[in-house]
Every structure is written in structure tokens, then in C-alpha cells.
């Protein structure tokens, strides 16, 4: 018999009905660049912001960068944080604070050595909050983001339903609906969206239904193979020539110049790179021009060689190709794996800033030459515009495929020969993972999954129902590796005895889960809402 018992608990609350909504705002908080768009629910006209401090008008995004002063107060943000860094260091010397970049990676499931170091006293949550606040719009990731958005005063109630989350590829898939007819995509056809950003590449398959509704036939996928990895490969190439110590010193002591090196590489090489070598002009990387401070850190024999070459490093087509190819190869593998999961794909859409790369486009078209490959309209703004379009019509998404397995914790009697002896508690029970919904299944919006539980002790007067999620398909115990706690619901248990059934229900809403725990003895129902980890 399944049982439940108290452990620890917490709650999150939301209003039962949304507040009056007049404007929908979509925020694309990216690893390297961010943007936002908005639309009136009356006109449904989506307007993408192109007015950023320190950026020429017309740019859909600005840098996800912050510049703090010595008291950890934001002095500049966006593109100005990089310009401001150079100015600050010129005026105050190299001890002034450096810009903070790539802090979104702290939300990702990657090794710590790949996450950027933050200034002492600065947490990822504070950096995210500060950045969202500076934009001035007057699972783990969604929980952190909701708290940061609340702290940034973008919402008045931390549990409000007026804040909804969507994955970047899903938002892009919604945005692509507008051009499906142009590509002769009909009801029943399936298309793949490949969102190529700065930090990550995310993929989702969607099937077009009637009335522009979308279903998700396969589990989405992704990887940390965005365009910043091309920059990293370029920097590693320079390290091989001038020495790792020289680049490390430049980064640490002259960050403005280090950042300028990357900016020049992106503008002069990366953004213009194609698969046609005849289009490429050798890039003369002039150390004296781009990063003069680097000279003092270069040691022999590299120093003698560079002095003979007038401090110029020639970067050829074959070099840049090597910067791109390992990253592109990962993207090709991700696409290939997604295509294996479906019988037919009518078109592959590329979105995101990296999706504009002519080299990436050409290699994808060459590798998948039996498929139609297209770049979505406004690829850089596709995610943020799609988020607004989804907010205007949240019925667009008909089904999703679960990326996690969900369940509830319950104590059951230890079974000799079946359960592990080390998991047995002093009362002879084992905490089991009771499955509610399994990873990989396709669920409709508002689909429910239920399970009945009973108390562990006849005199138990309260129950603390714990909900968990995991990437595993068939977990057995709640304390296994990769089991994450979703939340708790506390309920009263009137009367006595073991025959006091409790009905636990998990309902997958549009972008959040609603859990209900119903005491079938007194018919009282308890509800709580959790962010949908998708």
C-alpha cells in the first residue's frame, strides 16, 4: 500500500484567474544578446524594440553585459557596458571592475569550469535581476527567473499568471507559423526549428494542426554549441601563438582590449564567413592595433617571431574553418538525431543570431540536401516576437512532449530481495518514487495524471506530499541521482485509520503545472502551482 509522510515543504501561490491584460511583452533573455517586443491585445501588432543605449537604431538586441562599480552597483549595461569598461579603465586604471558577461550560463546544467567567474559578492541571481531591471519595461531556471523578474519589479505578484514561460524554440516555432503557407506547409505537415543562439542551440519539431495549432510529436533537444564557441576557438588559436599566459594576462588586466579583440573578429571575420574560400580575404590580426597591451606579456620565442612579422598574425580561411567546424558538427549531430525521430520533415527553419551565419546555413543545406532549409523571417528577433505572438494566443500550443518524468514520494514497506537494504529506514519503510507522468510521452494542454495514496500511520493528522522530477524514465527511489524536488503540498488528515485515501493529481497547463491533493475523506482539495520544467 502506498503511503505518505512528512519531510520538508514549501509553497508557491498564484491567483486563480489572470489579471486584466492589455499589453503582452516578450523578453528574450539570451546568453550573449537580449531583446524584447510587445503588442497590444487590441491590435495584435507586434513591435520589436530597436532603441538601445550605445547601439545604432535598428538592432533587435543588445549585449547581455553589465558593468558594475566597486560597490556592485550597475554603472552601465548592454553595449555601453563594453564601451564604458574601456573608458573606466582609461580613467581609473586596470583595477576598476570588469564587465560581467555570460552569467546566464550559471542557470545551465554545465560544468563549473565552463561557467564565467563572477566578481566577489555577485550572485547569478543578482546579475540577472539587475539586467532585467535595466531593460526598464515600465525545474531551477524558471524558478530563478520568476524570482529575478519579481525582484526587478516587472511583476507585482511573484505567483501571477500574467508571467508565462516558453522555450526559445517553441516561441520560434510559433513565429514561423506566419510563413508556413509561403513554403507550402499544410495541415498535418511537420517542421523542425533549429534555434542557434550565442550560448546554446535548441531544436523542436512541430506538426501543424487546424486553426494554426501546433503539436509536438517528439522530445526537444539542445546543446551548448552556440556561436560563442567559435569565439572561444579563435581565442585558443591566439593562445597557441602568443602563449596562454599572455592571453590570460590580457583578459585579466586589460579586459576592454580583450573584448575588443573578440568584437573585431566577429565583425570582420565571423559574421562575414561563408563556405566559399574565394570570398575570404586573409585577416591581418594586428596586435599593435587591436590589443597593444598584449605585447608586454608575450615571451620568446613567440615574441621574436612576432616582432619579425611586425606584430601581425595572418588568419587564413582554413584557420577560420577550424574555428567553425567543431561547433557546426555538434549542430549537425543535433539535427540528425531529431530527424531520426520523425517519419517526414517538410522544412527545417533556422532562427537565432547564429542562424544568420552563411557558413552554417551552407553546411546544413549541404548535409541535409534532401530537406528544404530556410531562414525564418527576422531570425534574430524570431524568439522574442514568437513569445509575444504566443502570449496573444496561448491556445496555439496543443500538445507537448515531456522532457522529464514526474512523480510523488511515498513510503512503502521494505520488500526483502526487491528493495536495497541501505534504503530501509528504522520503521521498515522505503521512500519510493511513484510515477505520475513519464518522460517522452505527448500530453495535451490541461491533461491530468492521478494517483491514490494512503497514510503511513493510523494516527497521522497531516500529510506532506512531495513532488519530484527527473530525466530518468523509470526511477525507483526518490533519493537516486538526478532526482530533483519540484515542491510540496501540506494537507490535513481528519479522523484516524489507514483507509483515508488521498487523490494526487498533476495537471499540465499551458506553461505551468497545477497539482491538487484531494482528501477523499472530507472532500477538501489543496492546490499549488509549479513552473513547468520543459
d(CA 254, CA 242): 16
Cα 50 to its chain centre, rounded Å, is 23
List pLDDT tens digits, range 387-445. Answer: 888 878 878 889 999 989 999 998 888 888 888 888 888 888 888 999 999 999 999 98
> DSSP of 89-155, one letter per residue?
HHHH-TTSPPEEE-GGGGGSSS-GGGSPPPPTT--HHHHHHHHHHHT-----HHHHHHHHHHHTTS-
Residues of the chain with CATH 3.30.420.40: 166-395
User: What are phi and psi for residue 112, nearest 5 degrees?
Assistant: -60, -30
d(CA 28, CA 202): 14
Residue 63's contacts (CB-CB under 8 Å, 6 or more residues apart) are 32, 33, 34, 78, 79, 81, 82, 101
Residues of the chain with CATH 2.60.34.10: 402-531
pTM of the model: 0.75
What is the average pLDDT across 80-108? 63
pLDDT over 90 at 27, yes or no? no
Which has more confidence, 208 or 38? Answer: 208
Fold of 166-395: Nucleotidyltransferase; domain 5 (3.30.420)
List pLDDT tens digits, range 169-203. Answer: 788 888 889 889 899 999 999 999 999 988 889 99
Q: What pLDDT does 324 receive? A: 98
Which SS3 state, helix, strand or coil, does residue 530 take? Answer: strand
Phi-psi region of 365 (alpha: psi -120 to 50; beta: other; left: phi over 0): alpha
Which has more confidence, 136 or 82? Answer: 82
> DSSP of 425-449, one letter per residue?
-TTSEEEEEEEEE-TT-EEETTEEE
Grid cell 531529431 in the structure block, residue: 338
How far, CA to CA in Å, does 149 sit from each of 11, 23, 79, 144? 18, 17, 21, 9
DSSP alpha helices (H): ranges in 349-453?
A: 358-367, 382-392
Where residue 94 falls among pLDDT bands split at 50, 70, 90? very low
Residue 314's contacts (CB-CB under 8 Å, 6 or more residues apart) are 282, 283, 284, 285
Phi-psi region of 440 (alpha: psi -120 to 50; beta: other; left: phi over 0): left
What is the average pLDDT across 43-60? 76
Give the least confident one: 292-301, 340-349, 519-528: 519-528
Fold of 402-531: Substrate Binding Domain Of DNAk; Chain A, domain 1 (2.60.34)
Give the least confident one: 158-162, 300-304, 514-518, 530-534: 530-534
pLDDT over 80 at 83, yes or no? no
Amino acid at each position: 500500500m502506498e503511503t505518505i509522510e512528512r519531510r520538508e515543504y514549501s509553497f508557491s501561490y498564484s491567483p486563480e484567474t489572470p489579471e486584466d491584460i492589455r499589453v503582452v511583452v516578450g523578453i528574450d533573455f539570451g546568453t550573449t544578446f537580449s531583446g524584447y517586443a510587445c503588442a497590444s491585445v487590441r491590435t495584435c501588432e507586434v513591435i520589436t524594440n530597436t532603441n538601445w543605449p550605445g547601439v545604432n537604431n535598428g538592432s533587435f538586441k543588445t549585449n547581455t553585459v553589465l558593468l558594475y562599480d566597486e560597490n556592485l552597483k550597475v554603472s552601465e549595461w548592454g553595449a555601453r557596458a563594453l564601451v564604458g569598461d574601456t573608458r573606466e579603465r582609461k580613467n581609473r586604471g586596470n583595477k576598476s571592475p570588469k564587465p560581467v558577461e555570460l552569467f546566464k550560463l550559471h542557470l545551465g546544467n554545465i560544468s563549473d569550469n565552463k561557467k564565467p567567474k563572477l566578481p566577489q559578492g555577485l550572485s547569478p541571481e543578482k546579475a540577472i535581476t539587475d539586467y532585467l531591471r535595466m531593460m526598464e519595461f515600465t525545474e531551477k531556471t524558471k524558478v530563478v527567473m520568476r524570482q529575478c523578474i519579481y525582484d526587478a519589479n516587472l511583476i507585482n505578484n511573484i505567483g501571477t499568471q500574467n508571467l508565462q514561460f516558453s522555450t526559445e524554440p517553441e516561441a520560434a516555432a510559433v513565429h514561423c507559423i506566419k510563413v508556413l503557407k509561403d513554403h507550402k506547409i499544410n495541415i498535418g505537415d511537420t517542421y523542425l526549428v533549429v534555434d542557434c543562439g550565442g550560448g546554446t542551440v535548441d531544436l523542436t519539431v512541430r506538426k501543424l494542426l487546424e486553426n494554426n495549432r501546433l503539436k509536438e510529436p517528439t522530445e526537444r533537444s539542445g546543446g551548448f554549441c552556440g556561436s560563442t564557441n567559435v569565439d572561444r576557438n579563435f581565442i585558443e588559436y591566439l593562445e597557441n601563438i602568443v602563449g596562454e599566459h599572455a592571453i590570460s594576462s590580457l583578459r585579466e588586466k586589460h579586459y576592454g582590449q580583450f573584448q575588443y579583440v573578440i568584437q573585431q573578429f566577429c565583425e570582420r571575420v565571423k559574421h562575414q564567413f561563408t563556405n566559399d574560400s574565394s570570398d575570404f580575404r586573409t585577416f591581418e590580426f594586428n596586435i599593435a592595433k587591436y590589443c597593444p597591451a598584449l605585447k608586454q606579456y608575450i615571451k620568446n620565442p613567440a615574441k621574436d617571431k612576432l616582432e619579425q612579422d611586425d606584430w601581425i598574425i595572418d588568419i587564413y580561411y582554413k584557420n577560420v574553418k577550424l574555428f567553425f567546424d567543431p561547433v557546426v558538427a555538434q549542430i549537425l549531430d543535433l539535427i540528425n538525431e531529431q530527424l531520426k525521430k520523425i517519419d517526414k520533415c517538410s522544412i527545417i527553419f533556422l532562427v537565432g543570431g547564429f542562424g544568420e551565419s552563411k557558413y552554417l546555413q551552407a553546411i546544413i543545406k549541404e548535409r541535409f540536401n534532401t530537406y528544404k532549409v530556410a531562414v525564418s523571417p527576422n531570425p534574430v528577433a524570431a524568439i522574442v516576437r514568437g513569445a509575444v505572438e504566443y502570449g496573444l494566443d496561448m491556445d496555439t500550443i496543443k500538445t507537448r512532449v515531456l522532457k522529464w518524468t514526474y512523480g510523488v514520494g511515498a513510503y512503502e514497506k521494505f520488500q526483502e530481495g526487491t528493495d536495497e537494504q541501505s534504503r530501509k529506514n528504522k520503521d521498515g519503510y522505503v521512500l519510493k518514487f511513484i510515477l505520475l507522468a513519464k518522460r517522452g510521452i505527448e500530453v495535451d494542454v490541461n491533461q491530468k495524471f492521478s494517483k491514490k495514496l494512503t497514510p503511513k500511520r493510523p494516527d497521522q493528522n497531516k500529510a506532506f506530499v512531495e513532488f519530484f522530477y527527473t530525466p530518468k524514465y523509470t526511477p525507483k527511489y526518490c533519493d537516486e541521482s538526478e532526482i530533483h524536488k519540484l515542491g510540496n503540498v501540506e494537507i490535513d488528515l481528519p479522523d484516524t485509520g489507514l483507509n483515508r485515501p488521498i487523490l494526487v493529481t498533476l495537471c499540465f497547463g499551458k506553461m505551468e503545472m497545477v497539482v491538487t491533493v484531494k482528501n477523499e475523506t472530507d472532500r477538501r482539495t489543496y492546490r499549488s502551482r509549479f513552473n513547468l520544467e520543459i
